[in-house]
Amino acid sequence: MNLDELNKVARAMVAPGKGILAADESTGTIKKRFDAIGVENTEDNRRDYREMMFRTAEAMKNHISGVILYDETIWQKAKDGTPLVKIIEQMGAIPGIKVDEGTKPLPNCPGELITVGLDKLADRLTKYYEQGARFAKWRAVIDIGAGIPSYTAIRTNAHALARYAALCQAAQIVPIVEPEVLMDGDHDIDRCYEVTEFMLKETFQELYYQRVALEGMVLKPNMAVPGKKSAKKASVQEVAEKTVKMLKECVPGAVPGVAFLSGGQSDEEATAHLDAMNKIGNLPWGLTFSYGRALQAAPQKAWSGKAENVAAGQRAFTHRAKMNGLAALGQWKADLEKAKAA
């Protein structure tokens, strides 16, 4: 393991004003997105859609540090025969790869899940590195509900995250460690804080046991937010303050940066929360974004699978990337969103 090189990549992933495009939707997940805009879920359409984003020079060069790819995408070539990985590199961004294989029910823990995919991961990582991937992603899913999460679910998922991270670093790939506490329930922000704090502390304990070098990783957590069904809402400032407090209590300063998932927040909510956190300042790590839907919903709708709409899709992607880039600097203003909408 060359830690200096891993640290260099990790720092580039969380460079000021830049963030990560999560374009790693599975074939099934992107089908749901395409169904919503009336686009057939074919391999060519998936390629064309992602190629549209990767060739958006203003967004990619100025605001995107890296792209998380799905297994299908990392091997694909653009219409002109250029590997999509090469297009990403030409834009100055770093190619990455989602390596987990989804979730399965966790035995003896009703309603809880474990992420799978560790078997033969070392071999897969070698092939992904050869293809150009310099970072990877593994997502653990923790739900909040009646009697859950259990300690079993938290510890088992944290252990799997740490084993994945160690395998990545051995393959000279920076691991994005993603422990996601879902926002689907009716819990309030304090319950989210409590569970996320538990999950983060357990994750860093397991990372220590697996001898993962913190300087060569990036954390991708959820923010402290109330569940979607919660009757008790939280202001932007409350989300920012509680999330930063939570991170300071759990995340060592050796970690180069934190790239938040959007977790089902609206485009503007995800941007506003990130901006408010960066306005707090005096943080030991960089705070940026690793968004999927919050970057892609607008360009998907603008594109709608039509070649004549590629420019409109690229404009929408550029705007979303720019807004989040500003938020990563604490320089976003809500009136910029309003001006765009007008």
Distances 11 to 216, 221, 250, 274 between C-alpha atoms, Å: 9, 17, 20, 18
SS (H, E, C) the chain: CCHHHHHHHHHHHCCCCCEEEEECCCHHHHHHHHHHHCCCCCHHHHHHHHHHHHCCHHHHHHHEEEEEECHHHHCCECCCCCEHHHHHHHCCCEEEEECCCCEEECCCCCCCEEECCCCCHHHHHHHHHHHCCCEEEEEEEECCECCECCHHHHHHHHHHHHHHHHHHHHCCCEEEEEEEECCCCCCCHHHHHHHHHHHHHHHHHHHHHCCCCHHHCEECCCCCCCCCCCCCCCCHHHHHHHHHHHHHHHCCCCCCEEEECCCCCCHHHHHHHHHHHHHHCCCCCEEEEEECHHHHHHHHHHHCCCHHHHHHHHHHHHHHHHHHHHHHCCCCCHHHHHHHHC
Whether the bond between 175 and the residue before it is cis, its omega within 30 degrees of 0, is no
Q: Which active-site residues does the annotation give?
A: 178, 220
